[in-house]
Structure 1
Amino acid sequence: MPSVLVLDPLSDEGLALLEAAEGVTYEVRTGLSGDALKKSLNEFDGAICRSGVKITPESLEGNTRLKAIVRAGVGTDNIDKKAATRAGIVVMNTPAGNTVSTAEQTIALLLAMSRNVAPAYQSLIEGRWDRKKFMGTQVSGKTLGIVGLGRIGMAVATRAKALEMNLIGYDPFMSAEHADKFGIELVENVADMLPRLDYLTVHTPLTDETRGLIGPEQVAALKPGARLVNCARGGIYDEAALVEGLKSGKLGGVALDVFPEEPCTENPLFGMDGVVCTPHLGASTEEAQNQVAVEAVELLTAYLMTGAIRCAVNVAALDPKTLAALKGYIDVAHRLGRLCEGLLPSGIESCRLTYRGELADKETKILASAFAAGLLERAMGEEVNLINAESLLTERGIQLVTESCSTQGAFRASMSVEVAGGGKSHTLIGTLLGQDMPRLVSIDGYRLEAFLDGTMLVFTHKDVPGIIGAIGIALGEGGVNIAQMAVGRDKPGGDAIGVLNVDGDISDSALSAVRAHKAISSATVVQLPAAGTLPHWLG
C-alpha cells in the first residue's frame, strides 16, 4: 500500500482528499530537517511539500524507497532536482494553482497604486481628511505593457481588458496572431513598448536575461508618470533605478509584491510617495492554497497508483526500449531546438519537423517534445521537459506540425526542422554519426557538416577570398580559439553560410568586428550544450 509523507502544512481540502484516497496511507510530519528529514523521506513512497522544507542532496542520500515528490505550488527551488533525478525520484509541481490569485494581486496593486489607497487610509488612521492630497488616476483608456504572456500574464491581460485598458505585450514565444485574439499588440522587444506605456507589469522568471530588465536606461525611456508593478520575482526591476525614478518624478508609482531578498522589512522604496508594497501575497488566498493542495494530492496519488506522470519538472515518462533506441536522436532534436531559438529568438509562429529514413518508423512524438524543450527552455519560468514542452508551445500559439518520410536521402536517418515567424524562417537538418555525435548537415539549404555543441558562430556571407582569415583574426584578437569550421555555398563566388565552433565565449567586441566585414551580411552566436552533455531529463 503506497504511503505519503506531508512535509509542510496542507489545506484541509488536500488532507481530506488524501484521507479519501483508496489504498493510500499518509502521515503529516512538518518542520523536519537534517537527519530527521533524511530518515523520514526513506520511509514513504511519495512526499508533498510546499516551500518550508528544504530537500537537499543530503536529504536524499541513500534513499531507496521514495518515488515522487510533489510541490504544492509552482517553484521547486527548495528541492534539489538533480539529486532527485539521480535517485530516480520524480519531482512534480502544480503550475496552474496560483494563476488567478497572482493575477488578481497584480490588478489589486495596480489599482491601489493608481488611487492612493494605502496612504489615504493611513491619513484617516492619523485623523486627517485629505481628499485633495490623494487625487488619483483612472486606469480605463490607459496602456498596460505585459512582459511574459504565460498563464499569469494572460490572466492579467484578461482582467486588464475588462478594465478597458489598452494592452501591449512581449513574449518571445507567442505569435502576433495568437496575441491579437486576446486584444494584445505584440512587440518584438521590451524597448519598443517602454515609451508608449502608462503601466508596466512583468510575469517572467528571474534569469540572467531578466535580472535588472528595467534599469536606469529603461526608466529613462518610459513615458513620464509611468507606473510599474511586479508580482513575479524580485530583481527583475532594479530597485535603485526605481528610487531615482520616483525622486526625479519620472515614475508616477511603483507597486511590488516581491523583492530580491525575502523576507524584506527594510527597503529604500518603503515610505516613498507613490509606492505600495506587500509581503509576497500573490498566492496567499484560501482558494489558491486549496487548489495547489488538491492538485498536489491528485498528482501524487495518480502516480503512485497508476504510474501516470503529469507536471514533472525533472524527468519524463519514457519506455526503456524507446529511450535506448532514440536517445541519440532525442539529443539531436533538443540541440536543434536550442539552435533554432538562438537563430530566431522571438516571434516564432510555427515549427515543422520532418523525420526521414529510419526515423520515420520510430516513436517520433518524443523527438518533437525534445525539440520543443530545446526551443523553450531558456525562456520559460517553469521547468521544460519532454512532458510539458509541447503544451507550453501550444499555450503561446506556436503551431507544431510533424511529418515522416521513409525516403532516406543522404543519410540513413535525419531530422529537419523549419521555424518561421515575423517574416523570417530557418530550416535545419540534423543527424547522428555513430551513437552519440550530433551533427548539423544543412542550414537554409546549404549543405555542410558542423558539430552541434558548445559556442557556435553562424554567419552568412559572400563567397569571396579572405572571409575565413578575417574572421579568424577578429576572433583571435578577442582571445577566441576556433575548434571546428564548416562552410556551405550555392556556387563559387555566390552566397554562402559558415558555422564555427569555438572554445569559450565570443565577446560583443569580437562579434562586432566579425559583423563589420563588408562581405558578411549577418553573424549570430548560439550557445549549445557541450559535447556529450545531455539535458537533465534525458541524462
Structure 2
Amino acid sequence: MKILVTENIAQEGIAFLKAQNMDVTVNYSLTREELLSSISEYDALIVRSVTKVNEELYAHATNLKVVGRAGNGVDNIELAGATERGIIVVNTPDANTVSAAEHTIALMLSMSRNIPRANQHIKSKQWDRTLFRGVELKGKTLGIIGLGRIGTMVATRMQSFGMDVIAYDPYIRSDKFEKLGVEKMEQLSDLLGKSDFISVHTPKTKETIGIINADSFKLVKKGVRVVNCARGGIIDEAALYDALTQGIVAGAAIDVLKDEPHPISPLLDLESTVITPHLGADTFEAQKNVGESVAIEVFEALKGKLVANAVNLPTLSQQELEHMKPYLTLLERMGKIYHQIHHDAVERIVFTYKGDFTHRNTDPFVLAFIKGLYETVLDTPVTYVNAKLIAENRGVTIAESRVSTTEDFNNSVKIEIHSKNQTFEMEGALFGKKEPRIVSINSYPVDMTPKGNMLMIENNDSPGMIGTIGLLLGQNNINISTMNVSLSKTLKPALMLLTVDCPVPDDVLSQIQNQKGILKAWTLKM
C-alpha cells in the first residue's frame, strides 16, 4: 500500500507506517499540479489543514481509499465526494484533549496572577510588584460552559485547586454531573450569576455563536474573569471589550479569535487580557499523539477495519448503499428534529419497528438516527462509525422492539426519546418509491416530508390561524411550499407544519411567536 504525506506530522507516525511495511512518501513541498499528477499512485493521503481534498483531487485519485486528517476539523476535505467514491476520511479529535485542557488552566493562572504583564515589566528593568496583585483560585466558583471531553478535564483539575465547579450543558445527562461532583446549572443565566471564573468549552454551532454577549455581561458578577480556549466567536469580542473597559469583567484569557489568523480583535489593545495565537493543541506531546493517531487510523482503514474516528459513511457496496439509502435518510432526518425543538439531555431512545422494517438489520437505523440527533449540536463530525460511541459517552441507552404487522403503513418506525422531564415521540414511514415521511409527532398525526427549511407551529385551534401565518410569511418574502395542519387526538391545540423556500430569520420567528393564538414555534433545518 502506498501512502502520501503532504503536510507535517510527527515522525513517530511516519515510523509506525513504515514499520507496518507501508510504502510512505513524505513531500511537504508538492505544488498543486504535482499533487494532482501523482495522486493516482497512492492508496492513502495524509494531510493537515492546507491541502485541499476536493472534487478536483478526487478526479485524479483513482486508487485513493483513505484520507487521514491530522487534527480535528475537516473543512479542507469534501466529505460527500469521498463517501460517493467509497473513500474513508479519518481524523484525530481526541489527540490534543489534554493539551487544550492544560492550556485553559495555564491561561486562567496567567490571568489571575498577571504573569504576562509582570514578566514584561521586570524585563524592562523595573521592579514594582504592587502593580500586579492577583487573586487566588481556591474558594472561587468556576463556571464551565460545555462539559465535553475538554470541559470535563478542566473541571476535575480545577477541583484540585480548591475551586467549586458548576457547569451548564443541556446535552449532558445529570448523572455525569453528579459523578464529577459538578453542580448542574439548568439555565446559562444561573451559571453567569454565580461564577467568579467562566470557561467556555462548547463546539461552534449556530446555537453557540455569541452565546456570551452583551446581555450575558448584564448578569455576571462584577469582577468575573473569562477564558475562551474553544472557538473564536463563541464570546462576542466587542461585548467582552465593553465589559472589560467598564470594569464589569476583571480579566479575559483568550486563545481563539473570531477573525484568526488575523490579529485584529479589539481585545488586543487591553492590558486586562492575556491572548495567545491558538496554542491549545500546540505541544510536543499533542503533535506526537496526532501523528501517531492519524497513522494508526489510516493503516487500520486500509486493512478494512472499522475505525473509531471515520468521519463519513464506511465503505459499502453500491448495491447495499442504494438499498439502505431511503431508510437511512428517514432515520437521520428524524434524528435532526429533537434538538431543534428541545434542549433536554437524551437519556433513553426506544425504537419500535413495524412491517418491512422488522426484516432488516436495524443497527444502521440506530446509527443514522443518532447521527442526525447529535450533528445539530456538535461541531465535530458525527458519523455512522462514531455515533454509537457518542451516545454511550452521554449515557444514552437504546432499546429496540419489532411488531410484525401494522394497521396504517406497510413499514414504519416509531421512536420515543426520553429525557429527565419529558418523552418526545415521532413515527416515520416510507411511501411510494421509498419516500421518507414523518407520520406522527407526539399525539399529532401528520404527513410531512422532512427536507429543506421547515416551520413547526403549535397554535390554538381557532379560525384564521392559517391566514395569519401565510400573510406574515408573505410580508417577509418567504414562500410556503407545503403546509400540513393536524389536530391532536388528546389535546386541543393544533400543529402546523410548513416547508418554506428559505431559512426563516430569527426576527420573523419572533413575529410568529408573538401572534395571538400561537403557543410555540420552531424552525427546523433538515
Q: State the TM-score, normalized to the length of structure 2.
A: 0.93
State the AA in 2 paired with 1:42: S
Q: 1:231 to 1:516 in 2, by over 3 A?
A: closer
The number of aligned residues is 526
Deviation at residue 365 of structure 1 after TM alignment: 1.0
SS at match of 2:376: coil
State the AA in 1 paired with 2:285: E
Would you say the 8 A contact 1:376–1:384 is kept in 2?
yes
The one of 416, 426, 442 equivalent to 2:440 is: 442
**2:378 is matched with which residue?**
380
Matches within 5 A, 1:27-426: 27-265=25-263, 267-270=265-268, 272-318=270-316, 320-426=318-424
Alpha-carbon distance in 2 for matches of 1:282, 1:329: 40
Which deviates more, 394-403 or 405-414?
A: 394-403
State the AA in 1 paired with 2:9: L
Which deviates more, 510-519 or 10-19?
A: 510-519
Would you say the 8 A contact 2:39–2:60 is kept in 1?
no
**1:4 is matched with which residue?**
3
Would you say the 8 A contact 2:88–2:301 is kept in 1?
no
SS at match of 1:306: coil
User: Gapped runs of 5+ residues in structure 1?
Assistant: 529-539
| Partner deviation per Cα, 1:393-416 (whole Å, 9 max, x = no partner) | 222233333332223231111011
Please give the root-mean-square deviation of Cα atoms over the aligned residues, in Å. 2.4
Would you say the 8 A contact 1:18–1:26 is kept in 2?
yes
Matches within 5 A, 1:443-458: 443-458=441-456
Deviation at residue 428 of structure 1 after TM alignment: 0.4
Would you say the 8 A contact 1:338–1:374 is kept in 2?
yes
Alpha-carbon distance in 1 for matches of 2:170, 2:321: 31
Q: 1:219 to 1:324 in 2, by over 3 A?
A: same
Deviation at residue 4 of structure 1 after TM alignment: 1.1
Q: 1:261 to 1:469 in 2, by over 3 A?
A: closer
Q: 1:32 to 1:57 in 2, by over 3 A?
A: farther
Deviation at residue 299 of structure 1 after TM alignment: 0.9
Deviation at residue 512 of structure 1 after TM alignment: 4.1
Alpha-carbon distance in 1 for matches of 2:151, 2:245: 29
State the AA in 2 paired with 1:251: V
State the AA in 1 paired with 2:19: A
| Partner deviation per Cα, 1:223-261 (whole Å, 9 max, x = no partner) | 111111111222222222222222111111111112233
Would you say the 8 A contact 1:230–1:256 is kept in 2?
yes
Deviation at residue 311 of structure 1 after TM alignment: 1.0
Alpha-carbon distance in 2 for matches of 1:512, 1:16: 57
SS at match of 1:270: helix
Deviation at residue 6 of structure 1 after TM alignment: 1.6
Q: 1:263 to 1:463 in 2, by over 3 A?
A: closer
**2:15 is matched with which residue?**
16
Deviation at residue 110 of structure 1 after TM alignment: 0.7
Alpha-carbon distance in 2 for matches of 1:317, 1:436: 22
Q: 1:79 to 1:505 in 2, by over 3 A?
A: closer
User: Gapped runs of 5+ residues in structure 2?
Assistant: none
State the AA in 2 paired with 1:288: A
Alpha-carbon distance in 2 for matches of 1:207, 1:151: 17
Would you say the 8 A contact 2:166–2:182 is kept in 1?
yes
